[in-house]
Structures are given as structure tokens and as C-alpha cells.
């Protein structure tokens, strides 16, 4: 029987914390119920662990009561870290768990973060040099705080050396299914997916992301260039012209742009154009080729390749999924 410790965070608790805690508890309980119905022993001992006797949110409307203080857990097999509020106070409050998480990992436990719980996991240092996913909206903040982690926000699940992370929101259910399959086999994972009506084997969150650009920086010329790009996606834009427009050499402009946005200017232009195309495919009735030409692509193969690289889907697939009139 594997011991699963679902961590109840400290500091400001968000609604997704409760959703993830309940979801994880329910998923592993479904597995236990499956075995119980067949007269076999449970696969998991599930325990809510924390530091406070009760954690509240929404002015006390909801609360979570850990069963055990985490310090009393001397050995566990899996630690689940749910989402936390993304502010300095909350992240600092959850550092109380760091020594315990690291010790358990060094003793053989696996660790899984759900959504922006990745910030707590990354704070332990265990993610340094490893791949990690989190909600696409939190990607820029994560990169600025944890530059030594290989962030891949296009993936729903990452797994490396006994450490697991997942993308945003309800995609944590896919990570839980992945863990069930690893511990109990494919048949049980499929059973849980059917009970929970969850699409199994979903591995990409790119179709759900919205490109908003990284503007949480103080480099004003770069910020102005970002706004110019986003407001002129149907125009021909060269990096040299952008640099001249904002009084910088091309080399200096490219360096500062990459540092501020985590994208090269060319990447940023491409992502802004694809975002424009996505919005047209979602809401408009334009022909795909017309939108392609509008943002400056003349080569269909290059356009399809760029679109799929960013969204994980071909333009026609994307339109069928998100445009209700198709």
C-alpha cells in the first residue's frame, strides 16, 4: 500500500486549492473503491497533511482540516502539492514545508505539483535543471523567479526523476490519471477516466493558451515595441526597423527584447500573428487562407507549421474545435 500525502498549503488559499485537494482525494479513493469491490486490499493510504489545524478561504466560507501535522509523517511515497496564491507572502509561508519535502524525496518519495503548486515545488530547489509545467498564465512569473528550471508550458504533464508537474486548472486530473496508471496499471487508469469522464492521455495545453506577451518589466522601449507589434500584426515588420524606431542598435534591441520578454523579436512577431489568426478562426467567418495572407504568410506549409508549433493543432482542427459555426 502506497502512502499518499496531500499537502494543505499555508498562507492565502485559493479556490483551486480546494478543488485540487478534493480531486486528488477522490481520484485515489476511486482506486481504493475499485479494489474493495473486488475483495482486494486498498492501493493507497490517503492523508491530508499540513501545519495548521485548519486552513480557511473566502472569509471562512470554505475550510480544510489536515488530518496530520506534516512533521509527524516520517515516511511517505508520494507528496501532492496543490495550487497556492501567487504572492510573496504565500510563497514564503509555504517554505515551512521545504526541508520535509526535500527529506522525503531524498528518502525515496515522489513529488507531484498541481498547476501553480509548481511554485512551491520549485522553491525547494528540487526542480533545478529539470523540466516543469504550470499554468500558461503563470509562465512569465515562474521564469523570472526560477530561471534554473526548464519551463515547458505547452505540456500537460512532465515527469523527471520522480518529480511530476502539470499544466493549469483542471488538467491536474490528467496528472492524477498518469499516477494511477503508473502505480496500478492502464486498466485502472481507464476505469478512473470513465468514472470521472476525463479524457485520458491529453498531453498538450497549447490549444488553451492565450498569448498576452510578457510586459511585467521596466524596459520602456521594449514595451513600446511590443505594443507596436501587437497593433500592427497585418503589417510587414522587420527587427531592424523596430530597433531604429526606438533608437537602439539591432543587436542591443534583440538582447534587451529577449531579456525582457523571454522571446526574440521574431518569435514575438510570430506569436502575435498566430494569436490574431486564432481569434479570427474562433469568431470569424473568413477563409483560413485569407487570414493567413492577412498576417503576411504566403507559404501554406510554413503557416501550418508555425501554427501547429504554437497551438499544437493545425488551423482547420483549431477552427473546428472553437468556432461554433463550423
Which letter does DSSP use for residue 96 in this model? G
Enumerate the domain spans of the chain. 2-207, 220-322
Percent of the chain with pLDDT over 90: 74
Among 71, 84, 111, which residue's Cα sits nearest to residue 20?
84
Burial class from Cβ neighbours inside 10 Å (0-12, 13-18, 19+) for residue 167 reads: buried
Residues facing residue 111 across a β-bridge:
79, 163
Of 79 and 311, the structure prediction assigns the larger pLDDT to: 79
pLDDT at 206 over 80: no
109 CB-near residues (< 8 Å, 6+ apart): 75, 76, 77, 78, 79, 162
Q: Report the Cα–Cα distance between both ends of the chain, in Å, rounded.
A: 49
Q: Check: CATH 3.30.70.270 for 220-322? A: no
Digit-coded pLDDT (tens) for 26-64: 999 999 999 999 999 999 999 999 999 988 876 777 889
Q: What is the pLDDT of residue 200?
A: 84
The predicted-structure confidence for 223-249, as pLDDT tens digits, reads as follows 999 999 999 999 999 999 999 999 999
pLDDT at 253 over 70: yes
Cell numbers standing for residue 215: 510586459
Q: Tell me: pLDDT of 306 over 70.
A: yes
Quick one: fold of 2-207? Rossmann fold (3.40.50)
Domains 2-207 and 220-322 fall in the same CATH topology? no
Neighbours of 281 (CB within 10 A): 23
Query: What pLDDT score was predicted for residue 44?
Result: 98
Write down the pLDDT at residue 326: 61
Give the cell for residue 42. 486498498
Amino acid at each position: 500500500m502506497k502512502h499518499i500525502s496531500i499537502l494543505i498549503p499555508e498562507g492565502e488559499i485559493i479556490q483551486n486549492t480546494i478543488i485540487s485537494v478534493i480531486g486528488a482525494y477522490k481520484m485515489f479513493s476511486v482506486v481504493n473503491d475499485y479494489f474493495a469491490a473486488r475483495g482486494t486490499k486498498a492501493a493507497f493510504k490517503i492523508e491530508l497533511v499540513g501545519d495548521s489545524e485548519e486552513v480557511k478561504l473566502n472569509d471562512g466560507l470554505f475550510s480544510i482540516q489536515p488530518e496530520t501535522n506534516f512533521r509527524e509523517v516520517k515516511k511517505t511515497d508520494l507528496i501532492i502539492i496543490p495550487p497556492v496564491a501567487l504572492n510573496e507572502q504565500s510563497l514564503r509561508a509555504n517554505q515551512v514545508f521545504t526541508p520535509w519535502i526535500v527529506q522525503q524525496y531524498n528518502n525515496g518519495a515522489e513529488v507531484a505539483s498541481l498547476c501553480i503548486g509548481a511554485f512551491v515545488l520549485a522553491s525547494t530547489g528540487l526542480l533545478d535543471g529539470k523540466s516543469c509545467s504550470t499554468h500558461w498564465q503563470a509562465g512569465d512569473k515562474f521564469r523570472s523567479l526560477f530561471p534554473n528550471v526548464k519551463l515547458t508550458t505547452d505540456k500537460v504533464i512532465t515527469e523527471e526523476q520522480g518529480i511530476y508537474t502539470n499544466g493549469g486548472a483542471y488538467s491536474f486530473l490528467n496528472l492524477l490519471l498518469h499516477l494511477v496508471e503508473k502505480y496500478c496499471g492502464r486498466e485502472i487508469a481507464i476505469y478512473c477516466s470513465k468514472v470521472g469522464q476525463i479524457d485520458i492521455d491529453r498531453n498538450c495545453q497549447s490549444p488553451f493558451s492565450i498569448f498576452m506577451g510578457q510586459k511585467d518589466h521596466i524596459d520602456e522601449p521594449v514595451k513600446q515595441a511590443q505594443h507596436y507589434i501587437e497593433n500592427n500584426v497585418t503589417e510587414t515588420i522587420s527587427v531592424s526597423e523596430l530597433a531604429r524606431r526606438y533608437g537602439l542598435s539591432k543587436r542591443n534591441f534583440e538582447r534587451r527584447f529577449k531579456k525582457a520578454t523571454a522571446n526574440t523579436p521574431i518569435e514575438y512577431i510570430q506569436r502575435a500573428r498566430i494569436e490574431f489568426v486564432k481569434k479570427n478562426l474562433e469568431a470569424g467567418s473568413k477563409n483560413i487562407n485569407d487570414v493567413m495572407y492577412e498576417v503576411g504568410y504566403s507559404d501554406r506549409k510554413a503557416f501550418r507549421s508555425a501554427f501547429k508549433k504554437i497551438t499544437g493543432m493545425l488551423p482547420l482542427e483549431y477552427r473546428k474545435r472553437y468556432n461554433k459555426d463550423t
